[in-house]
Amino acid sequence: VHTIYRTQGKYAAQRALRSVRRSTSSPTVRAQIDQMLTEIVNGTFTRHPSGAPVDRKPTPRPKPTKATRPTKPISHAARRRRRLMAALLVLVLIALGAWHWWPRHVNVFNLKIADNAPVGTCLGKQDKDWLNTPTALRKGDCDKPHWGEVIAYIQLAKVPSAYPGDAQANALAYFRCGEALVQQHLNNSGYAVRAFYAGANDWNDGKNQTTYENYAACVIHRSDGNDLTAGGVTKPDAPKKRAPVAMALFATDVAQNAPVGTCVQNRSDGQLTGNVPIVDCSEWHWAQIIGYPTICPAGKPWPGDAAVIAQAEKACGTPRLRGFTSWAGSPDHSWWSDSKQVKYAYCLVHRADDKPFKGALG
């Protein structure tokens, strides 16, 4: 911790101490860690290892006199050794400087979450294709303005479990990462969240011989391109309470919608055409999302409003639960302006009396 404090700053030292505290149940160790955290906050944390004689001055040795000073001349071999040591020292200093300034990489995409860079890790400016290289993100300095941070690792599904499909996996990842953003009160401050997760080939479904933990890594950065402030914005110890996330039900790409199986907290705009508050169905909600069925393939002509509404209602069907009814959202005429656009409906199930309820409908 003292080495981290000296080389990476106080915020990195605090993260290291908190990580160790979470991994131990020893009251003694935790008390020592709490003391060190308090010292760091108060600015009294010593840069010397605990127990080192920082205040004790060495007893000065007597200066050598002419009578005791060695008179033997330095040999040629000794001079060569000194020059060699000096050269090696210069190379070591150059290497240390290069190590300090050269971009270091961090991994947020190991098979196991515990093997990744910890939550709160700061990231430097990334390459253009950084979304395709989650194993080699550039490490940043948390004590200085930096580009982004690792905000959370979120479990998307049980291990093992069937791959949910590309669209549903993407929707789940961004819902859960968005929830982490809300939990840390960063959702309305100009932040963007990016999610990394495995595709079908690496997903742990119990058949493809992988130990991937079916999770998403969440990275945040400023949506306007500016740097995050020095000191970091991530709070690894923030409460993990369920929170609503603003998501769409009708994006042109289904993968950008709220995931199937989550719930609409309330019918805020009446027509549900914009972003709506999405919650885990264990919370109070108005309706549950049960699907996004295709009602018209790309290239088909506009059949008229009545036909589109009828197709949507047919695709969504009628719930078999007594006291519940369905809500079928359908696209308008503007969706047919793009001949390559697949047209779909969104299907919700809610109580017939519109009252809120808790729990998933299955």
Please give the single-letter amino acid code of residue 239: P
CB contact at 8 A, 264 and 277: yes
pLDDT tens for the chain, 362 residues: list them. Answer: 887 777 667 777 877 887 787 777 788 888 888 888 888 878 888 644 433 333 444 555 556 555 555 555 677 777 777 777 766 665 555 544 444 444 589 999 999 999 999 999 999 999 888 888 899 999 999 999 999 999 999 999 999 999 999 999 999 999 999 999 999 988 877 999 999 999 999 999 999 889 999 999 999 999 998 999 999 999 888 888 999 999 999 999 999 999 999 999 998 766 787 899 999 999 999 999 999 999 999 999 999 999 999 999 999 999 999 999 999 999 999 999 999 999 999 999 999 999 999 999 97
pLDDT, position 131: 84
Residue type, 295: I
- Backbone Cα Rg of the chain: 29
Q: What confidence score (pLDDT) does residue 40 get?
A: 84
Q: Where are the beta strands (DSSP E) in 255-355?
A: 263-264, 276-279, 287-291, 294-296, 324-329, 343-344, 346-351
Cβ pair 33, 20 in contact under 8 A: yes
* Separation of alpha carbons 202 and 267, rounded Å: 37
Cα 313–chain centre separation? 38
φ and ψ at 193, to 5 degrees?
Answer: -115, 140
Q: In what order do the strands lie in the sheet with 191-197?
A: 122-123, 148-155, 215-222, 191-197
Q: Residue 278, Cβ neighbours under 10 Å: how many?
A: 25
Report the half-sphere exposure of 243 (CA within 13 A, side-chain side).
Answer: 18
- Contact in structure between 276 and 257 (CB atoms under 8 Å): no
| pTM of model > 0.75 | no
Query: Residue 18: CB partners within 8 Å, gap ≥ 6?
Result: 33, 37, 236, 237
Collapsing DSSP to helix, strand or coil, 140 comes out as coil
* CA 175/CA 279 separation, integer angstroms: 9
Q: Where are the beta strands (DSSP E) in 75-118?
A: 105-106
Lookup result for tokens 């999610």: 195
Nearest to 118 by CA among 139, 143, 99: 139
Element (H, E) at 149: strand 148-155
Query: Which stretches does DSSP call E strand in 174-285?
Result: 191-197, 215-222, 245-247, 263-264, 276-279
- For residues 31-69, one letter each, b for 16 or more C-beta atoms within 10 angstroms of the residue's C-beta and e for the rest, the string is eebeebbeebeeeebeeeeeeeeeeeeeeeeeeeeeeee
Instruction: Give the largest CA-CA distance in the chain.
Output: 113
Q: With the C-alpha atoms ordered 279, 280, 281, 284, is the resulting torsion angle positive or negative?
A: negative
pLDDT at 57: 47
313 φ, ψ (degrees, to nearest 5): -65, -35
* Residue 222 burial (CB count, 10 A): 16
**Model pLDDT, residue 48:** 44
pLDDT given at position 10:
78
Amino acid making up residue 18: R
Helix (H) or strand (E) holding 216: strand 215-222
